[in-house]
């Protein structure tokens, strides 16, 4: 029988071996370790299913109870499928990412319910590897890399011990895994840096509606931004190529709202059509030419998932480097054809507003003028007030309205009284208390009633400067609404009515504009040391997003330029590095071909060589003890030492292995001492 046949039969026998109680426990533990990170991203119902099934399996293991039968497992599987179907119908009939991962995890737990042999345990471990990789479909923070590496090491360890139970005593699993990591990480790093980057991912997965990050929408009603502003969730990060502008000038423009129905402001779909020509790219010749002009800033934005179509940029966005499906509307909004369902990083070049600069000297076309002056019926008091300003120049009408808001009894608050009836009239002449959407909406209404074209803009204002990384962190609590008015010879001009009511909101942020009872932020009350720790962690995340997740074709080109390979083809570089790695690995591969000698056999051959040099060679058919007895006759002064060495060789070479690696190592050490002490002479 050949060696290959014997190995195949041994492997088949090993895989058919029943799992021990300890091995069952390790399988349950490894599945729990893989499932725990997924609980933060999956729906609550899914987490409950995981918890019930895993608790059931754990109780069976603790009580050493028999595993459930096929009928019980079948009914449980059907119930799991029905729950998945119900959840999919709830989300619009789309299985999607969340439910797919949940289904894999649930059926993996059920697989443990019927795992009796090593073959089943190996299969469950392999499926755990797939479930482990599914974590990257939700998020990729920097600590996930460490977590994935540690969990993968645990899975490989269990895999090794399932295949070779004796390895627990003979080899150090930690040392073996350490060697694998030490050899694999450099190769993975080289492949990551040099593998040709793609402009788009190889696939995209549908995302569930429940996991979408709430934020600014294309509808603004009294209280909409006021509720959003209570959230400390991250909206995006921005890092500037040079010194960033002052925080009170950072108006992150998102969506332009044109239509007012008496209750809410909404976007006009006809205004969101693409502007003539393509979106300027920051690397284009035209964009490069204006890059050094006064008021032009370059910066990068890492946008969190919004499930909306627009991208944020400072007034006014000139160019953008992003996906190919990004367009610019006729109102200078940057819009994506598809909702943004994953974190996105893009480069923008903007020109900050300047009173001395003319943005658009051309008069408004009739359709735009009509839209910018349209008002629904009602709010007679506001209309009558605005009519009194009709004889003033447009710029003076703007100033009069701002003076109105800046005077008593108008106040800035996050807890305004609900508006009743005609909302604009009720706010201007009764409540006098509101948030940015109240003032922006009322101001635009007054301007239109006074004959000044105006529109509402929603976005964010300011942000928090990270003193460690230099990034500007913009949160949902920085959401803001302001106005833009059309002035002849100057074009659309930004006007912030909130600055007239609460200038501290613009200059120092929201916490300085409202009482602590209305807005309690952890960031405001935290001590200095905790703020430094938070900034450090945020800087780590920002660097990870910038240099790892954001490592695209442009950054790869920058790396090649730094290495002096500007004109090199990435594929040629990858092939060259691969060839170098292969040449470096050839000695290792050649060494692996040579079987590692048995230390016991090496020492015994040394004894035989010593005796042969003194005229007592060993016959090929002569056994160890027979050889030792013949040598004892020829060298009587070394007879006892020869017999002891031969007996030790037989015990170590052919003796029964009790599985105690430490005891065997001690016996081998003592026998080596006997071999070293052996002296023969003619």
Q: Are 542 and 534 in contact (CB under 8 A)?
A: no
Q: What is d(CA 513, CA 515) in angstroms, rounded to the nearest whole number?
A: 7
Q: Which of 24, 432, 438, 480 is an active site residue?
A: 480
Residues 6+ apart with CB under 8 A from 385: 428, 446, 449
Give the three-class secondary structure for 434.
Answer: strand
User: In the annotation, is 187 catalytic?
Assistant: no
Q: What is d(CA 135, CA 255) in angstroms, rounded to the nearest whole number?
A: 33
Residues 6+ apart with CB under 8 A from 351: 290, 293, 295, 296, 297, 315, 316, 318, 357
Q: Give the single-character DSSP code of 279.
A: P
Give the 3-state DSSP-derived string for 60-115, with helices as H, strands as E and coil as C.
HHHCCCCCCCHHHHHHHHHHHHHHHHHHHHHCCCCCHHHHHHHHHHHHHHHHHHCC
If you count them, how many residues does the chain have? 682
Q: What is d(CA 364, CA 613) in angstroms, rounded to the nearest whole number?
A: 110
Which H or E run contains 328? strand 326-328
Q: How many helices (H) and strands (E) does the chain have?
A: 26, 19
- Cis peptide upstream of residue 494 (ω within 30 degrees of 0): no
Q: Are 313 and 251 in contact (CB under 8 A)?
A: no
277: left (phi over 0), alpha (psi -120 to 50) or beta: left
Which H or E run contains 481? strand 479-487
Phi (first) and psi of residue 639, to 5 degrees: -65, -50
For 525, counting Cβ atoms within 10 Å of its Cβ (0-12 exposed, 13-18 middle, 19+ buried), the class is: exposed
Nearest to 509, CA basis, from 469, 529, 485, 480: 480
Q: What is d(CA 251, CA 239) in angstroms, rounded to the nearest whole number?
A: 15
- The two tokens of residue 461 are 């204002």
Q: Are 222 and 416 in contact (CB under 8 A)?
A: yes
- The two tokens of residue 20 are 């021990």
Q: What is d(CA 336, CA 320) in angstroms, rounded to the nearest whole number?
A: 12
- Distances 598 to 50, 171, 604 between C-alpha atoms, Å: 49, 15, 10
User: In the annotation, is 480 catalytic?
Assistant: yes
Q: Which of 239, 436, 538, 616 is an active site residue?
A: 436
Q: Are 403 and 464 in contact (CB under 8 A)?
A: no
Buried b (16+ CB within 10 A) or exposed e, 51-61: eebbeebeebb
Nearest to 107, CA basis, from 65, 155, 49, 151: 49
Nearest to 192, CA basis, from 585, 561, 584, 577: 577
Nearest to 207, CA basis, from 402, 398, 41: 41
CA angle 82, 87, 89 (to 5 degrees): 95
User: In the annotation, is 496 catalytic?
Assistant: yes
Q: Which of 426, 496, 538, 616 is an active site residue?
A: 496
Cα radius of gyration rounded to whole Å, the chain: 37
Q: Are 133 and 100 in contact (CB under 8 A)?
A: no
User: What is the residue whose two structure tokens read 């609980």?
Assistant: 39
**Catalytic residue IDs:** 436, 480, 496
């Amino acid at each position: 029988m050949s060696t290959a046949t014997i190995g195949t039969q041994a492997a088949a026998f090993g895989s058919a071996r029943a799992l021990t109680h300890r091995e069952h426990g390790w399988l349950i533990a490894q599945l729990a370790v893989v499932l725990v990170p997924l609980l933060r991203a999956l729906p609550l119902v899914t987490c409950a299913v995981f918890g019930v099934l895993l608790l059931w399996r754990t109780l069976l293991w603790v009580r050493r109870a028999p595993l459930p039968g096929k009928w019980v497992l079948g009914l449980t599987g059907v119930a799991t499928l029905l729950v998945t179907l119900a959840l999919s119908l709830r989300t619009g009939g789309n299985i999607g990412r969340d439910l797919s991962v949940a289904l894999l995890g649930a059926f993996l737990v059920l697989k443990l319910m019927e795992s009796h042999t090593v073959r089943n345990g190996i299969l469950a471990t392999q499926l755990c590897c797939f479930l482990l990789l599914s974590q990257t479909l939700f998020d990729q923070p920097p600590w996930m890399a460490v977590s994935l590496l540690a969990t993968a090491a645990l899975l490989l360890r269990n895999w090794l011990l399932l295949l070779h139970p004796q390895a627990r005593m003979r080899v150090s699993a930690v040392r073996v895994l350490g060697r694998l990591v030490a050899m694999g990480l450099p190769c993975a790093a080289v492949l990551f840096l040099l593998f040709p980057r793609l402009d788009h991912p190889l696939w995209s997965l549908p995302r569930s509606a429940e996991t979408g990050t709430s934020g600014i929408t294309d509808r603004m009603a009294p209280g909409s931004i006021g509720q959003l502003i209570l959230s400390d969730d991250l909206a995006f990060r921005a890092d500037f190529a040079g010194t960033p502008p002052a925080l009170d000038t950072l108006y992150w423009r998102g969506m332009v709202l044109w239509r007012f129905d008496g209750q809410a402001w909404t976007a006009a779909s006809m205004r969101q059509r693409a502007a003539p020509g393509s979106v300027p790219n920051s690397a284009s010749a035209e964009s490069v030419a204006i890059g050094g002009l006064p008021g032009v800033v370059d910066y990068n934005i890492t946008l969190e998932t919004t499930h909306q179509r627009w991208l944020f940029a400072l007034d006014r966005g000139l160019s953008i480097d992003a996906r190919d499906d990004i367009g610019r509307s006729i109102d200078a909004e940057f819009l994506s054809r598809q909702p943004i369902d994953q974190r996105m990083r893009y480069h923008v070049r903007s020109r900050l507003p300047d009173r001395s600069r003319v943005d658009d000297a051309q008069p408004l076309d009739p359709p735009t003028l009509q839209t910018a002056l349209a008002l629904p019926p009602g709010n007679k008091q506001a209309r009558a007030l605005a009519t009194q300003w009709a004889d003033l120049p447009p710029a003076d009408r703007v100033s009069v309205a701002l003076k109105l808001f800046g005077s008593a009894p108008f106040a800035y608050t996050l807890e305004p009284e609900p508006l009743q009836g005609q909302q604009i009239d009720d706010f201007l002449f009764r409540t006098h208390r509101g948030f940015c959407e109240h003032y922006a909406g009322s101001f635009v209404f007054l301007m239109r009633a006074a004959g000044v074209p105006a529109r509402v803009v929603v976005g964010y204002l300011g942000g928090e400067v990270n003193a460690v990384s230099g990034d500007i962190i913009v949160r949902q609590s920085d959401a803001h609404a302001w106005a833009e008015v059309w002035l002849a010879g100057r074009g659309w001009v930004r006007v912030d009515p909130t600055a007239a009511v609460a200038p501290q909101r613009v200059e120092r942020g929201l916490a300085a504009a409202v009482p602590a009872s209305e807005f309690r932020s952890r960031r405001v009350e935290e001590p200095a040391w905790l703020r430094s720790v938070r900034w450090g962690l945020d800087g780590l995340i920002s660097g990870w997003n910038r240099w790892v997740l954001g490592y695209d074709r442009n950054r790869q080109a920058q790396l090649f330029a730094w290495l002096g390979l500007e004109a090199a083809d990435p594929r040629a570089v990858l092939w060259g590095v691969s060839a170098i790695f292969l040449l470096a690995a050839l000695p290792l591969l050649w060494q692996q071909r040579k079987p590692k000698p048995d230390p016991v056999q090496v020492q015994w051959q040394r004894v035989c060589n010593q005796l042969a040099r003194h005229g007592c060679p060993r016959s090929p058919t002569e056994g160890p003890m027979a050889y030792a007895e013949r040598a004892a006759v020829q060298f009587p002064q070394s007879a006892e030492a020869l017999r002891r060495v031969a007996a030790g060789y037989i015990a170590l070479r052919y003796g029964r292995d009790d599985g105690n690696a430490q005891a065997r190592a001690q016996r081998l050490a003592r026998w080596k001492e006997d071999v070293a002490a052996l002296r023969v002479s003619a």
